[in-house]
Amino acid sequence: MSKFYFLSEDTIDTFMKVYNKKAFSISVNFEFVGSETQKSLIKITKLADQFAFILSKDVLVSINEDLMNVFDEESVQILIEQEIDKITTNIETGKIRLVKPDLTTFSGLINKYGIEKIAKANKVEELFAQQKQDQEEGFII
C-alpha cells in the first residue's frame, strides 16, 4: 500500500481559495499529493528545476487529508496560509523560492509575553534587514 495518494478536489479547492487571496507577482503552478504518513497538515516544497520542467509545476503541496478532517476550518486556513507565506517570487527573473518563517517559538511563550516581546527577543530586526535586501534584489514577499 502506498503512503501517497491523489487529493480530493475539495482539498485542492480549499488550498486554492487561501492561495488566491494572496498577491504574487508571477503565477505559481502547484502539484498536489496526499500523504498519509505526513505528521503535519501541509508541507510546501519547491520542485527541483528538472522536475519543474518535466511537470510544468513549481511547487509541491503535500497534504494529509486525515489530519485536515480533524482540524476546524479556521485552523486549516491558518496552517495553509502559513505555508503559502513561505513562497516568494522575483518578478524580474520569474524565480520562485521558499523562505523560512520570520518567527518560531512556543505558543505558551506567546501567551505569556505577547508576540511583540517574543519578536524583539528573537531579534527580528536582523530579519528585516534580510527582507529589505531581498526586496532590493527583486524578491517580493
**In a shared domain, residues 52 and 81:** yes
**Shared domain check, 113 and 81:** no
Closest CA to 8 of 28, 43, 34: 34
- The domain of 110 spans 101-141
Domain final residue, candidates 98, 114, 132: 98
Domain shared by 106 and 94, yes or no: no
| Residue 14: all three cell numbers together | 480549499
pLDDT tens digits along 3-41: 999 999 999 999 999 999 998 889 999 999 999 999 999
Look up the pTM and report it.
Answer: 0.76
Q: How many C-alpha atoms does 90 have within 13 Å on its Cβ side? A: 16
User: Do 121 and 68 fall into the same domain?
Assistant: no
Instruction: Say how many domains are in the chain.
Output: 2
Say which CATH number the domain at 26 has.
Answer: 3.30.2010
Query: 12, 30, 34, 16: which is closest to 96 by C-alpha?
Result: 30
Of 80, 98, 116, which residue constitutes the final position of a domain? 98
Same domain? For 69 and 130 the reply is no
| Co-location of 33 and 51 in the same domain | yes
pLDDT digits (tens, 9 = 90+) for 100-128: 887 777 888 888 888 888 777 766 555 66
Alpha carbon distance 81, 129 (integer Å)? 23
How many Cβ atoms sit within 10 Å of the Cβ of residue 67?
17
User: Which residues, other chains included, contact 21 with Cβ-Cβ below 8 Å and sequence gap of 6+?
Assistant: none
Task: Please answer whether residues 88 and 141 qualify as being in contact, where contact means their C-beta atoms are separated by less than 8 angstroms.
Answer: yes
Is residue 89 located within the same domain as residue 111? no
